[in-house]
Amino acid sequence: MTASATPLDLTDPAVVADPYPAFATARAVAPVQWHEGLGLWLAFTHAESNAVLRDRRLGRIWRDKEPAERFGSFNLIHRNAILEMEPPDHTRLRRLISTAFARGHVERLRPWVEELAGTLVDRLVERSAGSEPVDVLSGMAEELPVAVIAELLGVPDADRPLLRPWSNAIVKMYEYGRTSEIEDDAERAAAEFVAYLRGLAADRRSKPGEDLLSHLVGVRDSDGDRLTEDELVTTCILLLNAGHEATVNVSGNGLLALLEHPDQLQRLRDDPALLPTAIEELMRFDSPLQLFERTATEDVEIGGTTVEAGQKIAALLGAANHDPAVFEAPETLDVGRTDNPHISFGAGIHFCIGAPLARVELQASFGALLARTSRLELGRPARRRPEFVIRGLAELPVVLTA
């Protein structure tokens, strides 16, 4: 074990508010360091974080939360999740999901997503009227991706308000220092979500449509294999939880970054063709997911440090995305940055399967904000969520003028 043990406190409000100076300090000490409080290794550099995500000797190995009888539904939706699997199970499940996704679902939705984004921005502009601060998170950033996933899966309009509260409760289990109340809420939400999706899947079996859920119900590979019901339910939950949480937080973190860098906001207004490049830069500049764990299946050397079999090591995605060895002036927001190998979507076999959908949503929402407003300003200070792993805002009050 290396002598350099990081003092990084993930519960420190200053670190939660802005972890990047602490990452830079730690990165200068060693690329990989032991964190005694978390009981795992942390990778602070781009090269080492990338290695953590790609090395096949480092796996996602799910272990049920204990006691098992308390976390039955929470364990079910992780035990059967592609994110928590390694080959050959991962290979089989990803192939089946990719086959369903390959039916043009993302591009089919693009015009609908762009129209919805425009409608949401128009509502924000009307409410703000150039003087009143309105929360862009609740008014658009949260609403758009949930609506898109619901549309993609074919969730009836009346049921869509159920989805985000379930997702919010479940993802709080990924943070450190959880309370019993948070754990109970997560299990309750998982149980309700599973029961709902079982019913929806049964409906699609008898009355299939053109939505992704219908295709997931019916998909088979060349060997005739298909998703089990638990895998089907878990995949739908993962699409919502992973898909919308990341998009919400890129939207919030990214818009705040642009508001704090008005020269870059104006640059985008002057050259809308920069938007796809800008989206990648916003994901790099303030990453929506900060930490991703892997477990060593055998002794593995990462950054000159031996991670012993059974030990965990986490890629610090935000630290990797600010590594000056890879990114020129990493603390500078540059919406025209073209050399941008950020790892906000992960890397290797667990690269985000929903990345194309997330890009469609983000381009639609930022595009609508730029096209349908002449002025965007922070109305009062943004309020950040108190969690470290999933990095996002609780409120983003903005004044908008048409």
- Strand 312-316 and strand 40-43: pairing? parallel
Q: Closest Cα to residue 32, out of 347, 300, 343, 350?
A: 300
More confidently predicted of 62 and 247: 247
Is residue 135 within 8 Å of residue 397, measured between CB atoms? yes
Alpha helices in 142-274 (DSSP H): 143-153, 163-171, 180-206, 212-218, 229-260, 262-270
What is the model's pLDDT at position 5?
Answer: 67
What is the model's pLDDT at position 280?
Answer: 98
Q: How many CB atoms lie within 10 A of CB 48?
A: 26
pLDDT above 90 as % of the chain: 64
What is the model's pLDDT at position 106?
Answer: 80
The interaxial angle of helices 89-101 and 229-260, nearest 10 deg, is 70
pLDDT tens, residue by residue, 79-119: 888 878 888 888 888 888 887 776 677 888 899 999 999 99
Q: Span 340-349, mean pLDDT?
A: 93
Is residue 57 within 8 Å of residue 296, measured between CB atoms? yes
pLDDT tens, residue by residue, 274-283: 999 999 999 9
pLDDT tens, residue by residue, 162-216: 998 998 899 888 877 789 999 999 999 999 999 999 999 999 999 998 888 998 8
Paired tokens of 176? 């450190």
What is the model's pLDDT at position 3?
Answer: 42
DSSP state of 271: -
Strand pairing partners for 34? 5, 41
pLDDT above 70 as % of the chain: 97
Alpha helices in 42-159 (DSSP H): 46-54, 72-79, 89-101, 105-128, 136, 143-153
> pTM here?
0.89
What is the model's pLDDT at position 91?
Answer: 86
